[in-house]
A and B are shown apart, each in its own frame.
Chain A
Amino acid sequence: MQTFTQVTGLTLPLDRANVDTDAIIPKQYLKSIKRSGFGPFLFDDWRYLDAGDLDIDPATRRPNPEFVLNQPRYKGASVLLARENFGCGSSREHAVWALSDYGFRTVIAPSFADIFFNNSYKTGFLPIVLKDEEIDALFVEAQAEGYRLTVDLPEQTVRTPGGKSFRFDIDPFRKDCLVRGLDEIGLTLQQSEVIRAYEARRKQEAPWLFA
C-alpha cells in the first residue's frame, strides 16, 4: 500500500453535502475488473455534459465548464475539501480508487459515511474529520487562488498557508498502517494460530456454523 506521511497540495473545495458514491463514480465504470484507471471518470455526471462509458474515450467528451473540478485553477489538486456525510451510498471501493487515481491523497470533511471511511485507509488515502466551524473557515480561505493545505499525518494536523493548524483524530492502528504502508492481510495472517484457536473453540459452542 502507498504510504502517507505529509502532503502539501492544491485544495479543491466541493461545496455539497451528502456526496454519494454514485456521484463519485457512476455504476457503468464498476464493470471494470481492474483497480486503476478510474480517475478520468471521477464525478463523471457532474464533470461531463455528455454520457460516458468504459469504452468511450474521455478525451472525446464535453467537459462541463461550470463544475469546479474543470476549472483551470484547480488543475493538479490533491486535497479535497467537502461537506458532511461524504461518500454515502454503496460500498464500492472504486470511489476511493477514482479519487486516488485522479490525484487526490486526502479528503477533509465534517463527517463521512462509514464504509467509504473504512475503504479509504485500505488504499493509502486519508479521510480527515474536522469540526464544522473549521471546515467552514477552510471553505472561505480556499476561495483564494492557489490555496494549498498541508496534511501532516504523523503530527495529525492540517495546516493552512497562513499558519493555522487544526488537529484531527485517527485510530493508532490505522495511522501506523498508513504511515508505514503496511499490508493488513499479511499482518492478520501473522495471527493465524489465534484464528485457528478461535475456530476450534467456536466449533464446540456452535457446531452448526462449521457443518
Chain B
Amino acid sequence: MTTQPAGAASSSPKTLYDKLWKAHVVAEMGDGAALLYIDRHLVHEVTSPQAFDGLRLNGRKPWRLAANLAVADHNVPTTDRSQGIADPISRTQVDALDSNCDEFGITEFRMSDLRQGIVHVIGPEQGATLPGMTVVCGDSHTSTHGAFGALAFGIGTSEVEHALATQTLVQKKSRSMRVTVRGKVAPGITAKDIVLAIIGRIGTAGGNGSTIEFAGEAIAALSMEGRMTVCNMAIEAGARAGIIAVDQTTIDYVKGRPFAPKGENWDKAVIWWNTLHSDAGAKFDSEVLIEAADIKPQVTWGTSPEMVVPVDGRVPDPAKEVDATRRQGMERALQYMGLTANTPINEIRIDKVFIGSCTNSRIEDLRAAAQVVGGKRIASNVKLAMVVPGSGLVKQQAEKEGLDRVFLDAGFEWREPGCSMCLGMNADRLSPGERCASTSNRNFEGRQGQGGRTHLVSPAMAAAAAIAGHFVDIRG
C-alpha cells in the first residue's frame, strides 16, 4: 500500500489516481483505507436483487437516488422481444430489477427502451459516466469507465448494497502502475490487440492490487471507443481499475450527451477535467513499457486472457515451460481447447463468431467488422455468426449507416442489444466443443457455454475469421 508522507503530499507531483482518490475521500480510516464517495452507481439485474433485499430487510433507502442508473443486460434475449423473456428464471431476475427500481425510485432503462443496452456501453453513451467521477457497478468490467479519467471499479453485491445505502464505499488505496505504449501502432492494429498484448506481457495477475494508468502515444491516439476497450480489459490483467488521462478526445465525446453538464456547469467541469492527468514526474509503484510497433493482431489460444499469441504465431508448447504449475495449466488449457501444441494459429478452424460484449460492441467496432465483411459471405463451416450491438442506440446508428445490411448479406445474424454470448446467461451459447472467434473479454472454461472454446480477438479479426472459416492475419 502507498501512503503519502504527511505534509509532502501537496507539493509533490501526483498521479491521476492520486487526484481522483483525494477528491473523493469522505473520511480517512487509517492504514491507507478511506470512506470514498461514489458519484455514479450503475445497476444491473444479476448482482443487485440480494442488495435490494438487504435494504428492505434493514428498512434502509437509497442515499441519493439520482446517482443510480439501472438496466437489464445479462439475461435479455437478443432475438424478438415482443413476447418478453421465455426462460422463466431469467424473466424473474429481470422482473425483480424492474420492481426494485419501481419500489425505490431508481431510473431504469427497460427492455423496450431504445436506450437499453450493456451497462458499460450505456453509461458513457448517456454521459452518465463523466471524467473525474467515481463509478461503481456490481460488475468487474466497470473498469471500462476509467477511459474517461474516472475512477471506476467493479464491486460485489454487499458493496452494491453499501453504495446504495450510503453513497460511499470503504476502500483501501491501491498501488499504482503505469503501462506506457510508446509510439504508433501499425495499420490494422486495434485497441483490442493493444490490451491483449499488454495482458500477454504482464499476465492475468500482473495488475493485482493496482490501478493501471494506460499512457503513451498509442493510447492517446485511440478514440473513446478504443480507450474503453483497453480499460474494459484492465480487470483481465488483475487490476482494480484502469484509467486514461482526460484530453480533448474525452471532452469532445462527452459534450452534448443527455446526462452531461450544460451551460455554466459545463464550463466549470471542463476546467477541472483538464487537470485530470498524471503530473510530470509523478511516481508510480511500477512501470511497464511496450513498443506499439511490436504489436500484431492477437488471438488467445487458451483459457485465460494471458494465453495469447500473435496471429502469425503458433499454439505454444507446454514442454518448453519450466514452471510446473504453469506447465500443468497450459496442458489443461490445450486439452480443454482441443488444440495441439505448435499448430499455426491461422490453421485453427472455427464454428461460431460472436461480435459484441462491453469490450467491442460500440459503433466503431461494428464499422471495423463491417468493413472486413463488406460484400463477402461467411464460410460454410461457420454455423453461426452473430453481431450484437451494445445498445439500442448503437444498433440504430449502425442501421442508419447500413451496417446491418452488410452483416445480413454476408450471412451474419443481426441481434438486439445485450451481453448475449459473452457469457450466455440468455439463450445465446456455445455447445460443448464448439470453437468461437469472440470479441468479448473472457476465454475461461465454460464462459460462453459449457465445454465451449473461446478465442478472443478484435472485431476485424473476428469478421475476417467468419469469412475465412479460420483465423487469418488481417494485415495480409
Contact = CB atoms under 8 A, between A and B. Distances in A.
Interface of A: 16-18, 20, 22-23, 26-28, 30-35, 45, 51, 54-55, 83-85, 88-94, 96, 111-115, 118-119, 122-123, 171-173, 184-186, 188-189, 191-192, 194-195, 198-199, 202, 205-211
Nearest to B154: A91
Interface string B126-157: 00001011000011101000000000011111
A187 B253 CA distance: 39
Contacts, number: 189
3 shortest A-B CB distances, which residue pairs? A122-B158, A208-B261, A93-B156
A121 to B, nearest CB: 9
B26 A194 contact: yes
Contacts of B359: none
Contacts of B139: 90-91
A31 B75 contact: yes
Given A96-B156, A185-B162, 15 more contacts: A30-B46, A30-B47, A31-B93, A33-B50, A90-B139, A91-B140, A93-B157, A114-B174, A118-B159, A171-B31, A185-B165, A188-B165, A195-B35, A198-B37, A208-B266
B217 to A, nearest CB: 29
A17 B265 CA distance: 49
Interface in B42-73: 46-47, 49-50, 53-54, 58, 60, 63-64, 66
Given A122-B158, A171-B31, A208-B269, A195 B49 contact: no
Which of B140, B153, B240 gathers most chain A CB within 10 Å?
B140
Contacts of A27: 423-425, 447
A20 B444 contact: yes
A171 B33 contact: yes
B447 A22 contact: yes
6 contacts: A16-B329, A32-B89, A88-B238, A90-B154, A91-B156, A184-B158
B37 A195 contact: yes
Interface residues of B, number: 78
Contact of B204 (A85, A118, A191): A85
Given A31-B92, A35-B53, A54-B89, A115 B272 contact: no
A202 B30 CA distance: 22
Contacts of B29: 173
A7 to B, nearest CB: 21
B154 A28 contact: no
Q: Which of A33, A115, A202, A207 has the most CB of B within 10 A?
A: A33
Contact of B238 (A114, A172, A205, A210): A114
Contact of A119 (B92, B158, B209, B265): B158
Interface centre among A26, A111, A191, A205, by most B CB within 10 Å?
Answer: A26
Contact of A173 (B33, B60, B92): B33
B127 to A, nearest CB: 10
A27 B427 CA distance: 12
B289 interface: no
Contacts of A30: 46-47, 74, 425
Contacts of B442: 20, 22, 89
A114 B269 contact: no
Contacts of B159: 118-119, 122
Given A23-B445, A45-B445, A188-B162, A92 B47 contact: yes
B446 interface: yes
A31 B89 contact: yes
A82 to B, nearest CB: 11
Contacts of B274: none
A10 B185 CA distance: 53
B35 A188 contact: yes
A33 B208 contact: no
Contact of B445 (A22, A91, A191): A22
Residue of A55, A94, A202, A206 contacting most chain B CB atoms (<10 Å): A206
A189 B265 contact: no
B78 interface: no
A111 B206 CA distance: 11
Contacts of B221: none
Nearest to B164: A185
Contacts of B447: 22, 27
A53 to B, nearest CB: 8
Given A89-B444, A172-B31, A185 B205 contact: no
